[in-house]
Copies of this chain bind each other. A is one copy, B any other.
C-alpha cells in the first residue's frame, strides 16, 4: 500500500523508524521527548482502525510510554489523538516531568521553541529506541 506521511508531520519531525505498520516520529522540538506514531491507514480516528492495526498501535504506544519512563526518566506520559490541524491519524506520546518547559500545560500551543537535537543524538536515540522496541515486541 502506498502510504505518504502528511507533509506537516514530515516537516515537524525526525523519522525514527517503522514497526508493525506504524511510523515512529520524534518531534524536532528538543525541549521534551515527544514521539508521534502514524499507522499506515486511511482511517481518520482511533475507533475506525481495524482491530489488528489498533492492537499494533496500542502495543507500540505502551512500549514508547515505558521507554519514556525508563530511558528518558519522565515521570508522566501524555497520550493523545487530536488531528484538528493534521487530519492524517497520528498519536502523540509525550514524556513529561514537573518543571519541564511547559509543565503543567499541554504541549500543543504551549511548548516554547527549542533547537533541534544534533544528528549524533538522534542516531543514538534511534538505536536505543528500536532495540528497546524489538525486545518488547518479541
Are A46 and B106 in contact (CB-based, < 8 A)?
no
Are A84 and B80 in contact (CB-based, < 8 A)?
no
Partner of A79, one of B66, B77, B80, B105: B80
Q: Give the copy number.
A: 2
* Size category, A interface: 20 to 34
Residues from chain B with a CB closer than 8 A to the CB of A66 are 47
Q: A17 an interface residue at 8 Å Cβ cutoff?
A: no
Residues from chain B with a CB closer than 8 A to the CB of A28 are none
Are B104 and A106 in contact (CB-based, < 8 A)?
no
Q: A81 an interface residue at 8 Å Cβ cutoff?
A: yes
Q: A85 an interface residue at 8 Å Cβ cutoff?
A: yes
A79 touching B81 in the complex, CB below 8 Å, given contacts A65-B46, A109-B109, A109-B110: yes
Partner of A47, one of B45, B47, B65, B109: B65
Q: A123 an interface residue at 8 Å Cβ cutoff?
A: no
Partner of A84, one of B58, B104, B108: B104
* Chain A residues proximal to chain B, CB less than 8 Å: 45-47, 58, 61-62, 65-66, 76-85, 96, 103-106, 108-110
